[in-house]
Amino acid sequence: MSDDPSRTPRPMDYELPQIDTSVAHSARVYDYILGGKDNYPLDRAAAERMLESWPSLRISMQENRRFMHRAVRYIAEQGVDQFLDIGTGIPTSPNLHEIVQEVTPGARVVYVDKDPIVLAHAGARLTSTPQGRTAYIHADMNDPQAVLRAPELAATLDFGRPVGLSMIAVLQFVLDDEQAYGLVRQYLDLLPSGSYLAISTVTTDSSPKPAGTVVAEYARRGIPARNRTKAEVEPFFDGLQLVDPGVVLVHNWRPVPGSDVLDTDVAMYGGVALKP
């Protein structure tokens, strides 16, 4: 691992791909529903149609974001000071590095995404503390070898020490279960004992009809997604030590006192686990 920040490739080192605005994109739909501005008419139209079908979708997405905050803070509080975030999405403050650098200012984070709009904003919005470091890899999460070969990874993270692996709200876009489980395993196999995995993914268990309508609307817009039951989410953590309370709807994972969100308003399972 290099200690010279100037040797870490930055987002501007990539040639910026053209952003396709002719179809809706999951990251931009998510951005719009969370109140962001990095989206286009077709993204907004798709989001509004989904919100008409299930107004609680905004609550579910907000709770997913809050789960990420709590999960990575927990991991950082266990002494982990380096993170690999797969499927970053459009940067929305507080971002993962901002959360973990509150705990450890010298924490290092590598973000991975394939969306050109994420690349366009990565340099400006994913900036580290002076003590820490952030890097961005423009790659498809479904090609782990491309991610693992990227020079940014070796320049930023030390795989001789524990790493927090974050895969938040991305695995629903890997439709085949065995492929999804295998994908997570390929990333985990790189990480040493003491590393952590944080996952969230879509379910319709808690609100079958409205959440199912949203999944169908995603598919109609060319964004097929796979909702999973709790029993289908748990194998992502095979061989790991689940942190209490295990795999739960994201708002129920170590919630802040006073949370009054209903289970029927949330369509995401989440969990955190330790690699022994």
On average, the pLDDT of the chain sits at 90
Angle between helices 96-103 and 57-77 (to 10 degrees): 30
CA dist 99 and 69 (Å) reads 7
Position 231 scores a pLDDT of 98
Confidence class for position 30, pLDDT limits 50, 70, 90: confident
Position 27 scores a pLDDT of 81
Lowest-confidence region among 19-28, 42-51, 103-112, 216-225: 19-28
Position 17 scores a pLDDT of 58
Position 121 scores a pLDDT of 67
Instruction: Name the residue with tokens 């020490």.
Output: 161
Confidence class for position 14, pLDDT limits 50, 70, 90: low
Query: Among 97, 113, 221, 234, which residue's Cα sits nearest to residue 164?
Result: 97
Query: Among 242, 244, 245, 236, which residue's Cα sits nearest to residue 276?
Result: 242
Question: Position 200: which residue type?
Answer: S
Confidence class for position 131, pLDDT limits 50, 70, 90: very high
Position 125 scores a pLDDT of 64
Buried b (16+ CB within 10 A) or exposed e, 139-152: bebeebeebbebeb
Angle of CA points 174, 154, 149, to nearest 5°: 45
Cβ count near 262 (within 10 Å) = 12
Confidence class for position 37, pLDDT limits 50, 70, 90: confident
| Residue percentage of the chain with pLDDT more than 90 | 67
Q: What is the model's pTM?
A: 0.89
Averaged pLDDT for residues 45-57? 91
For residue 48, is pLDDT > 90? yes
For residue 124, is pLDDT > 70? no
Instruction: Name the residue with tokens 């969100």.
Output: 261
Most confident of 11-25, 213-227, 262-276: 262-276
Strand-pair partners of 271: 199
Averaged pLDDT for residues 74-89? 97
Averaged pLDDT for residues 264-273? 98
Position 265 scores a pLDDT of 96
Position 229 scores a pLDDT of 98
Averaged pLDDT for residues 32-37? 86
CA dist 204 and 27 (Å) reads 20
The CATH label, of 3.30.70.20, 3.40.50.360, 3.40.50.150, 3.40.640.10, for the domain at 5-274 is 3.40.50.150
Cβ count near 16 (within 10 Å) = 12
Give the CA count within 13 Å in the CB-facing half-sphere of 92. Answer: 22
CA dist 36 and 145 (Å) reads 32
pLDDT per residue over 214-264, tens digit each?
889 888 888 899 999 999 999 999 999 999 999 999 999 999 988 899 999
Confidence class for position 8, pLDDT limits 50, 70, 90: very low
End-to-end CA separation in angstroms for the chain: 24
Residue 169 per-residue DSSP state: S
Averaged pLDDT for residues 92-105? 94
